[in-house]
Amino acid sequence: MQLREFIRREKQMGYIFDFVNPFEGCWCCESENFGDPYRHLNHISLAEAVIHLEDYAAAFRRDAPIVVRREIKRRQREFDHHYFHSEREELLAKMNQDLEMKDFKNFIEYFKRVFAHLEQQRLEIQQARRELFKFDLANDRRCDVDTEFGGTEDVIDWGVYDDLETEEQ
């Protein structure tokens, strides 16, 4: 998953998810604090962070034929009540606005909250897929449903740096 790879890459000393000294070692002012320390976050990485979150959220939207989409449209309010995640959408909108306005003081917190929400949704879907075939003792599914839903159940530990060098060897 590209988002998890991005997080691992950015959860290093001096990168956007640096939990110890997030503003130390700034390339533009040699670690001196001139006003807003959040201005030193890598804007390119922050933009990429939003793109990965938006792509992850979009992955949960299922494809549907026109007849299904037509029925959803007829009952849009009911559909949104069940499937629209207002907090997540609001946070993504705030992140996009903050990115445009270069106001990054809450950006990392918003990222982590949206990511946690998406991960929770993925884990719920993964569990529901497993439950589909719980009593299929013959293991004769007669369909190609991926019960693992392409994912891991590993939780991101935001308080630990990822050691990418040893994993690449």
pLDDT of 15 reads 85
CA gap 61, 67 in Å, rounded: 16
CA gap 35, 51 in Å, rounded: 28
pLDDT per residue over 83-140, tens digit each? 777 889 999 999 999 999 988 889 999 999 999 999 998 888 888 877 877 777 676 6
Looking at 66-162, which runs of residues are DSSP E strands?
none
Spatial CB neighbours of 133, under 8 Å, sequence gap ≥ 6:
139, 141, 145, 147
CA gap 23, 34 in Å, rounded: 11
Residue 147 forms part of a structural domain: no
- The residue assigned the tokens 């000393």 is 13
Residue 64 forms part of a structural domain: yes
Residue 158 forms part of a structural domain: no
What is the percent of the chain with per-residue pLDDT over 90, rounded to a whole number? 34
Please state the pTM of the whole predicted model: 0.76
The residue among 58 and 144 whose pLDDT is bigger is 58
Residue 115 forms part of a structural domain: yes
Domain total of the chain: 1
Residue 149 forms part of a structural domain: no
Residue 20 forms part of a structural domain: yes
